[in-house]
Amino acid sequence: MADARVQAARTLGEVLAKHCSLNKPFDTGINKLDERDRGLFQELCYGTLRWYHRLEAIAGELLQKPLRNKDQDVYALLLIGLYQLEYLRVPDHAAISETVNASRALKKPWASGLLNGALRSFQRDREQIFKKISGKPQASFSHPNWLVARLQQSWGAQASRILHANNQQPPVCLRVNLKRQSRDEYLVKLQQAGLQAQPLASSPSAVRLLSPLDIQQLPGFSEGLVSVQDEAAQLAAYLLALEPGQRVLDACCAPGGKSCHILEAEPALTELVCLDSEQDRMARVEENLARLQLSGATLTTGDASTCQWWNNQPFDRVLLDVPCSATGVIRRHPDIKLLRREDDLAKLSALQQAILNNVWQMLKPGGLLVYATCSVLPEENSELITQFVTDHKDAELAPMDADWGIEQPAGRQLLPQLEGPDGFYYARLIKAG
């Protein structure tokens, strides 16, 4: 079986060389490891990506020239070594020797001297290196420069808190299936299992665990008593103001967390149409519905920016959780900092407008649409909704009587918080009738 460091280097090397999401390489890598090595593998992958831009700046001071694209696994191994020296409690000598040894397992023994020299140079010259990179925002905040600038422009003094929260491990938040039990009943189950947790005021179904664990170990998880879902995402079902007999559309639904919550919150819907453009992602929706023992959903594969999939039957409620920059959930998906580019924002905004314009015609007069993103950038959120209401005379902003988030010209914005919710945006629109 492969060592955790070796497999982490291969996994991150693939992300860097192919500029791809961590998801598939991570799943491939962790399945090659013994159970005892999986925790370290996950820590090395997520931690190195979380601090990538700072580690990259340090590596730039240690390497005489960049490594070739085919040697991105070696570069990843260098970053992994630096991450251990700077952020983990691994003894320095062990972090260096194990990292150097991993280069041989990668069948690149030529890299052992390079890695040993670079890591020992960092160990020796740490303070001088930190002085050299201290004036660079990308290194100081461990975010790409363009995103640091966007956040400072949008949120001023709050930007530093967002950047700090993005670099921390996220809390584990659960959604209790209130169709099967009360939250208090599930809190008792957690206590009996020796797990510390607290109820959250933001959502009647939300519980935060006070320490991380393997989700499969949660009491009743496989039986559908509980799901993992951030408290910010749990607000969506309640904002829909669901009632028995309604037809509801959950557009862009995969992986199905909000779809399942809708059925838990109002089991007496006439129909819930779950729409997503990717067939393989719909398999995740099916798995979640089956585990939670939920029925009443119609799963449809189709493009939310077109009407080809629609049967011309209007909806009473629409949840529109559009594709976005995901800048509010960076702490859960740190590869976003590497993958997202500033010029993606205009393309995403155009797609969001196209989907909203298209789905709006599917809403009944008098119906309610909830627009959601996991972004903290106004051009995807309040600015877009403000423009939509200006352009559509039949669109009205619905009131949001809430004590969470920050009131915006349109809707409310949650920013990522330490031991708090992810970054999320919500707006409610009523169709005049």
The fold for domain 4-136 equals: N-utilizing Substance Protein B Homolog; Chain A (1.10.940)
Percent of the chain exceeding pLDDT 90 equals 97
Pick the CATH number of 235-431 from 3.30.565.10, 3.90.1310.10, 3.40.50.300, 3.40.50.150: 3.40.50.150
- What's the rounded mean pLDDT across residues 319-333? 98
Task: Please indicate if the annotation marks 416 as binding a ligand.
Answer: no
Task: Please indicate if the annotation marks 378 as binding a ligand.
Answer: no
- What's the rounded mean pLDDT across residues 75-84? 98
pLDDT at position 2 is: 59
pLDDT digits (tens, 9 = 90+) for 301-316: 999 999 999 999 999 9
pLDDT digits (tens, 9 = 90+) for 374-400: 999 999 999 999 999 999 999 999 999
Average pLDDT, the chain: 96
Task: Please indicate if the annotation marks 18 as binding a ligand.
Answer: no
Count of CB atoms situated within 10 Å of the CB of 295: 10
Whether the Cβ atoms of residue 128 and residue 351 lie closer than 8 Å to each other: no
- Is pLDDT at 433 greater than 90 in this prediction? no
Task: Please indicate if the annotation marks 109 as binding a ligand.
Answer: no
Domains of the chain by residue range: 4-136, 172-228, 235-431
Dist. CA 304–CA 320, nearest whole Å = 9
Per-residue pLDDT band at 212 (split at 50, 70, 90): confident
Percent of the chain exceeding pLDDT 70 equals 100
Task: Please indicate if the annotation marks 66 as binding a ligand.
Answer: no
pLDDT at position 214 is: 87
pLDDT digits (tens, 9 = 90+) for 146-192: 999 999 999 999 999 999 999 999 999 999 999 999 999 999 999 99
pLDDT digits (tens, 9 = 90+) for 235-287: 999 999 999 999 999 999 999 999 999 999 999 999 999 999 998 899 999 99
- Is pLDDT at 39 greater than 60 in this prediction? yes
Side-chain-facing half-sphere of 74: CA atoms under 13 Å:
20
pLDDT at position 74 is: 98
**Burial of residue 366, with CB atoms counted within 10 A of its CB: 0-12 exposed, 13-18 middle, 19 or more buried:** exposed
Task: Please indicate if the annotation marks 252 as binding a ligand.
Answer: yes
pLDDT digits (tens, 9 = 90+) for 335-373: 999 999 999 999 999 999 999 999 999 999 999 999 999
Place of tokens 């976003």: 336
Which residues does 155 contact at the CB level (< 8 Å), separation at least 6? 162, 376, 415
Residue range 172-228 in CATH 3.30.70.1170: yes
pLDDT at position 1 is: 42
- Is pLDDT at 220 greater than 80 in this prediction? yes
Dist. CA 348–CA 357, nearest whole Å = 14
Count of CB atoms situated within 10 Å of the CB of 124: 10
Write a three-state SS string for 278-322: CHHHHHHHHHHHHHCCCCCEEEEECCCCCCCCCCCCCEEEEEEEC
Task: Please indicate if the annotation marks 394 as binding a ligand.
Answer: no
The number of helices, as runs of H, and strands, as runs of E, in the chain is 17, 13
> What b/e sequence results for 320-331 when a residue is b if at least 16 CB atoms lie within 10 Å of its CB, and e otherwise?
bbbbbbbbbbbb
Catalytic residues: 374
* Residue 111 in tokens: 């890299």
What are the beta bridge partners of residue 430?
A: 368, 396
Whether the Cβ atoms of residue 394 and residue 431 lie closer than 8 Å to each other: yes
Per-residue pLDDT band at 213 (split at 50, 70, 90): confident
Task: Please indicate if the annotation marks 276 as binding a ligand.
Answer: yes
* Residue 129 in tokens: 């290196």
